[in-house]
Chain A
Amino acid sequence: MKIREGFVLRRVMGQAMAIAVGETSRTFKGMVKLNDTAADMWEWMAEDVTEEQLASRLQEKYDVDAATAKESVEQFVASLKEQGLLAE
């Protein structure tokens, strides 16, 4: 599972956001606002990872329990799918 190519991730005034560039900007308009954990997951998903790997990295970094990490990952992945942001 990977993030679709063609986005720049950057913080403006502390707010993380992903904006489409190049060819991608023709089909994806606007930006995706991300909170801190979502921004981390977005970066980790530059390479092919599984939901389990994302959850365990969240647990490591944010000191949360397994159930909470799993739920965050599931929600994030679902919203990526809904917005067409996962690589085919």
Chain B
Amino acid sequence: MSQPFCIGIADLTVRLHPLFDSTREYCRDYWIDDTDTPDIVASSTEEAVRKELSLVAGATAEAADVIVVYRDIADQLPAFDAVVFHGAAIEYGGKAYLFTAPSGTGKSTHINLWFKHLGDKVRIVNGDKPILRLSENGVNVCSTPWAGKERWQRNCIVPLGGICLLRRGETNHIEKAHPLEHFDPLLRQVYCPQNGEALDKTLQIFDSILSRVPFYVLDCTISKEAVEVALEGLTGGKP
């Protein structure tokens, strides 16, 4: 068992009890001083790591440890009006925009285009598994150490300006859509706890998120025009 340590994510204090020191290192950008009263205590166990390894071919025990502690956090987040969402969030003009799509659709490719064409007007929030937390009137995107293979993340909390379902297309087109028309792909990106009470709360939070934040569908190619179309649709602005 590695030394426990504390991180700050989503305005919450979390004490982690991982198996490996590598998990502590993974969370480096989010370290905070130890606290006696963390909001969440999450841990990893040899059994959970073994199980994770049996599910994912080629994974290392260290990588599994990182996943196991995050799952323990994710199971506890609904009590704090927060959920883990699989998607890539960037910040532009003070707002965060969250791109979501099944793995392999090209979220990273699209976000790279934003960096390439808009330079430092765009900043990464989190490239893979940010937390969405209800705020007083809106929703905040909260970065976490869990940021996919590229490890694109910046320790920050940014108000969410929109959720955008990304699809590969022949042309570039964005439009506002009703979330119910795309509900299955959307719900699949929300972490759903196995515990009934936590799942119930997760669905309530997801309902609030969708009613507070606009939802878009973007069909796009890999081009500068894709960024221009997305930017105008999401923010109303020109590059």
A contact set with B: CB distance below 8 Å = 8, 10-15, 17, 19, 21-22, 25, 30-31, 33
Say whether B199 contacts A19, CB under 8 Å: yes
Residues of chain B lying within 8 A (CB to CB) of residue A19: 192, 199, 203
Question: How many angstroms from the CA of A10 to the CA of B190 in the assembled complex?
Answer: 15
Nearest A residue (CB) for B190:
A12
| Interface pairs (7), CB distance under 8 Å | A12-B183, A12-B207, A13-B210, A13-B211, A19-B199, A21-B195, A22-B194
Alpha-carbon separation in the docked complex, A12 to B202 (Å)? 10
Within 8 A of A (CB), among B134-156: none
- Count the A-B residue pairs with Cβ separation under 8 angstroms: how many? 41
- A10-B180 in contact (CB<8A): no
Report how far A12 CA is from B210 CA in the complex, Å: 9
Is B200 positioned at the interface, with any CB of A under 8 Å from its CB? yes
Q: How far, in whole Å, are A11 and B187 apart by their CA atoms in the complex?
A: 13
Chain B residues whose CB sits within 8 angstroms of the CB of A15 once the complex forms: 180, 183
Residues of B within 8 A of A21 (CB): 194-196, 199
B195/A12 in contact, CB under 8 A: no
